[in-house]
Structure 1
Amino acid sequence: MFDLQNIMIGQFSLFTILLLIVAAIAAGYIDTLVGGGGLITIPALLAAGVSPVAALGTNKLQACAGSGTASLMLWSKKQVSFSLVKWSMLTAFVGGLIGAFLVQSFDAQTLELIIPLVIGLIVAYFLFAPKPDGEVSEPKMSQNAYRNTAVPVIGLYDGMFGPATGSFFVLAGVSLRGLSIIKATVIAKTLNFATNVASLLIFVWFDQVAYLLGLLMMVGQFVGATLGARALMTINPNALRGLVVGVCLVMLAVWLFKQ
């Protein structure tokens, strides 16, 4: 009898790989619309049996596809200029490097406790945080101060864990720099790309990336992002947030059940 579970590619069954690609498609779709795709991909990697640190590293590899594509499109369409964001991208990059380096010192048992807690807190944020409005307001922090404090701190978080980093950059841009939500979202994509690349370099250095899974999930990210772009004007964001939270909790439950 044909059984996907018995077809092995490396240490993973074809069934597991297909599920991870589906998770990546869902994450790319969700990231395009409301952000928070890491809430699906990290628990999915953990549920597949990837170690906690390698799950974070593999997530960075596949996340680079989405954030990199978005950034290149925004630059090519002149929605944001590189000269405007280059120094903020640099401090975000440094924060991502430091965060990814720090997380390497955590043992697996510690991460098995911390990661579900962090994801649970992000789920709560996703559900209950006030949604930024679209109005431009008076900045509460200068560009230099923002670039040298808030940006690297969010970058450090992304290097260590990652889920909802884009949402944090948007919230910070709106609340601290007084940007419109559209402008903050555009800038957030470029900063998230910088933190993804920085943290990926550290995870690669420490050999904490499952390359086969990460590269296949990159394909899923491209597919999901394309579908998300087409649905951008018709989807109900509140319904989608509920779907993100539900899928995330199911993935976490599967992983915790396996412990």
Structure 2
Amino acid sequence: MPIWEAAALVAIGVAAGFINVLSAGGSMMTLPLLMLLGLPPQEANGTNRVTIVLQSVSAVGNFLRAGAAYIGLSLRLALPAVAGSLLGAWLALQVSDVLFEAILIVVMSVSAVMMLLPQPKRDTRPLTPERLTPLIYLAMFGIGLYGGFIQVGVGILFIVVLYRLLKIDLVQVNVFKVLIVLVYSVPALVLFVWFDQVRWHYGLLLALGSMTGAWLAVKVNMSPRGALWIKYLTLAVIAAILLRLLLG
């Protein structure tokens, strides 16, 4: 692997890990990057799971050290997501590379538009067990299904369900999100490994960067202006990647 490819993997990993923990959209950078570096879509999808798992480990560890709560509730929400993730990963392994790339282009375009939509202000409150209705568990299964299949933009779905529906504070949403993603991503990664769709040298370099980015995201308290700058930088990168995919 050329040095510039290794450097690109680490650098994009840092940005993606940072964005994934604080917001959403990191996989919109990492998955296409793996494809642009020559990995077939299925291998890129599987290899990206190495990054997701390890950056989630980094983020969860730092959140716990920072005093994060509601871990038991997170695990309850993660159980249906695991079932959905296994089904989603299996479905991803069944589609052709051409169809997967077409789905990726559509998903990235929709996710980019959703990132531009303003977040409504909510009167938030802590999550309690009695608020975990069957509808919420079904939504977690759906998020796991989508995450197992492609992962791109899954953080947006967490914001819709946890912030807009359950009205949980966005800071706490990030804690729930990274822990649930970690739990459901491990079995999905195992499935991709079983079908030999993971290229470890790419995944570990990307993960090295993403773990660093996740660590920074937990430590850094972003200002609204800084968050806006990150969002538009991400959208610019996404636009460039989409153009490359469409031309190529």
What TM-score do the two structures reach when normalised by structure 2?
A: 0.89
CA distance in 1, matches of 2:9, 2:59: 22
Task: Give the conservation status (yes or no) of the 8 Å contact 1:135–1:181.
Answer: no
Instruction: For 1:109, give the aligned amino acid.
Output: V
Are residues 1:119 and 2:108 paired?
yes
Aligned to 2:95: 106
Aligned to 1:3: none
Q: 1:77: Cα distance to partner?
A: 4.0
Cα RMSD for the two superposed structures: 2.2
Task: Give the conservation status (yes or no) of the 8 Å contact 1:93–1:195.
Answer: yes
Which secondary structure does the structure 2 equivalent of 1:236 belong to?
Answer: helix
CA distance in 1, matches of 2:194, 2:76: 25
Pairwise mapping of residues 189-204 of structure 1 onto structure 2 (< 5 A)?
189-204=178-193
Aligned to 2:239: 249
Q: 1:73: Cα distance to partner?
A: 2.8
CA distance in 2, matches of 1:75, 1:227: 15
Task: Give the conservation status (yes or no) of the 8 Å contact 2:81–2:141.
Answer: yes
Aligned to 2:49: 60
Instruction: For 1:32, give the aligned amino acid.
Output: V
Task: Give the conservation status (yes or no) of the 8 Å contact 1:166–1:189.
Answer: no
What is the CA deviation profile of residues 29-69 of structure 1, one whole-angstrom value per residue up to 9, with x for unaligned ones? 22233221111111111111111111111111111111122
Instruction: For 1:63, give the aligned amino acid.
Output: I
Higher deviation after alignment, 63-72 or 100-109: 63-72
Aligned to 1:133: 121
Pairwise mapping of residues 110-189 of structure 1 onto structure 2 (< 5 A)?
110-128=99-117, 130-133=118-121, 135-136=123-124, 142-189=131-178
Q: 1:138: Cα distance to partner?
A: 11
Task: Decide which of 227, 230, 234 is 1:237's aligned counterpart.
Answer: 227
Which secondary structure does the structure 2 equivalent of 1:209 belong to?
Answer: coil
What is the CA deviation profile of residues 170-229 of structure 1, one whole-angstrom value per residue up to 9, with x for unaligned ones? 320122223222222221221111222232121111111111000111111122223434
Aligned to 1:27: 16
Unaligned runs of 5+ in 2: none
Aligned to 1:5: none
Instruction: For 1:136, give the aligned amino acid.
Output: T
Task: Give the conservation status (yes or no) of the 8 Å contact 2:16–2:210.
Answer: yes
Q: 1:105: Cα distance to partner?
A: 0.6
**Structure (1 or 2) with the larger CA radius of gyration:** 1
Percent of paired sites with the same residue: 26
What TM-score do the two structures reach when normalised by structure 1?
A: 0.86
Which secondary structure does the structure 1 equivalent of 2:101 belong to?
Answer: helix
Number of residue pairs the alignment of both structures matches: 245
CA distance in 1, matches of 2:186, 2:144: 11
Task: Give the conservation status (yes or no) of the 8 Å contact 1:174–1:180.
Answer: yes
- Sort the Cα spacing of 1:59 and 1:225 in 2 relative to 1 into closer, same or farther, 3 A: same
Task: Give the conservation status (yes or no) of the 8 Å contact 2:126–2:169.
Answer: no
Task: Give the conservation status (yes or no) of the 8 Å contact 2:21–2:174.
Answer: no
Task: Give the conservation status (yes or no) of the 8 Å contact 2:82–2:183.
Answer: yes
CA distance in 1, matches of 2:93, 2:75: 27
Unaligned runs of 5+ in 1: 1-8
- Sort the Cα spacing of 1:223 and 1:82 in 2 relative to 1 into closer, same or farther, 3 A: closer
CA distance in 1, matches of 2:218, 2:58: 12
Are residues 1:210 and 2:199 paired?
yes
Task: Give the conservation status (yes or no) of the 8 Å contact 1:166–1:192.
Answer: no
- Sort the Cα spacing of 1:177 and 1:32 in 2 relative to 1 into closer, same or farther, 3 A: closer
Which secondary structure does the structure 2 equivalent of 1:50 belong to?
Answer: coil
Instruction: For 2:240, give the aligned amino acid.
Output: V
Task: Give the conservation status (yes or no) of the 8 Å contact 1:99–1:158.
Answer: yes
